[in-house]
Each structure stands twice: as C-alpha cells, then as structure tokens.
C-alpha cells in the first residue's frame, strides 16, 4: 500500500511576502467522501485533474494514499456535480536545502491562511526548516484540507 509521509507548518506571512517565489499554480479541490477515516478528493490544477483516495493511521503525518491523474475536464465535472465546500489555493513549490516545500496560499473562505508541507521518504528523514516557517501543525486536524473545506479559516478568526 502506498503511503504519504508529510509534515505541515504554518508560514510567517511577513517573511513569505518578501521572498522571491517561483510561479504558483492554482488548485481547486473538493471531496466526494470526507470522513474522519477516509477521503476521496478531486483536484483540478491549471492543466490536469487528479482523483486522490486517502486513509488514516495513528500518526497524522503518515497516510495511505492512492492518486490518479484524470482529464482536467472530468475533474471539473466531478467538482461541479459531486463535491461541496470546495477549497481554492495557489501552490508554490520552493526548493530549500535539497528538499521541495509546497506552500499553499489559500483563497476564498480560507483567505489569510498559508500552510507549507514537506513530503518525506521516511518519518525519521532529516530536513532543515526555512526561516519563513512559523510552527508545525501536522497533528492539528483543523489544518487538513479536508477539514478546511468543512470548517474554513474565516470561521476561526
């Protein structure tokens, strides 16, 4: 079974705003199934579509994950016809000390939230944390995209 090993962090907005960034990519995603133990997500990027199935383990940093590329047109149809509470974000991929960090700048109901993720090969893998990282939120469920679709950031502030 394939697993995703990922750590999540909040980003220091003031430092992030001063960084030279690569071109970001717009994502729209929604959930066909959005339960505590499993999710089925549809994502449309600027050029592609994806269907992703995730499970849950005792460690929130490790999840079983199956991801399949689908035509963008089908992803948009699925988003329109089978999902509710979609989220929108721009994703920036930043290379730092040999690792790729994915920084999500959220839009819409999650405007103002910036989350960085790093995918790892093992839970023990070492990596250096950039200055623009604030603190880790891997173990805080409210920052998972599936939960942001149901309880957006605007409701917290």
Give the catalytic positions in this structure. Answer: 31
Is the distance from CB of 14 to CB of 20 less than 8 angstroms?
Answer: no
Which tokens sit at 84? 């509710």
Which tokens sit at 111? 């405007």
Q: DSSP code of 68?
A: E
Which tokens sit at 142? 């409210």
How do the residues of the chain divide into helix, strand and coil, expressed in percent and rounded to 5?
20, 45, 35
Bridge partners of residue 96, in order along the sequence: 99
The closest alpha carbon to 16, from 107, 132, 149, belongs to: 132
């Amino acid at each position: 079974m394939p697993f995703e090993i990922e750590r999540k962090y909040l980003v220091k907005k003031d430092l992030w705003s001063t960084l030279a960034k690569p071109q970001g990519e717009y994502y729209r995603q929604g959930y066909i199934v959005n339960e505590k133990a499993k999710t089925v997500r549809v994502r449309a990027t600027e050029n592609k579509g994806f269907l992703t199935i995730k499970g849950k383990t005792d460690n929130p940093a490790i999840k079983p994950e199956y991801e399949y590329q689908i035509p963008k047109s089908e992803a948009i149809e699925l988003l329109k016809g089978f999902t509710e509470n979609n989220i929108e974000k721009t994703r920036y991929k930043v290379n730092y000390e040999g690792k790729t960090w994915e920084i999500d700048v959220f839009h819409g109901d999650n405007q103002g939230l910036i989350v960085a993720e790093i995918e790892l090969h093992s839970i023990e893998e070492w990596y250096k944390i950039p200055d623009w990282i604030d603190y880790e939120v891997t173990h805080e469920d409210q920052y998972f995209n599936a939960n942001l679709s149901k309880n957006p950031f605007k409701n917290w502030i």
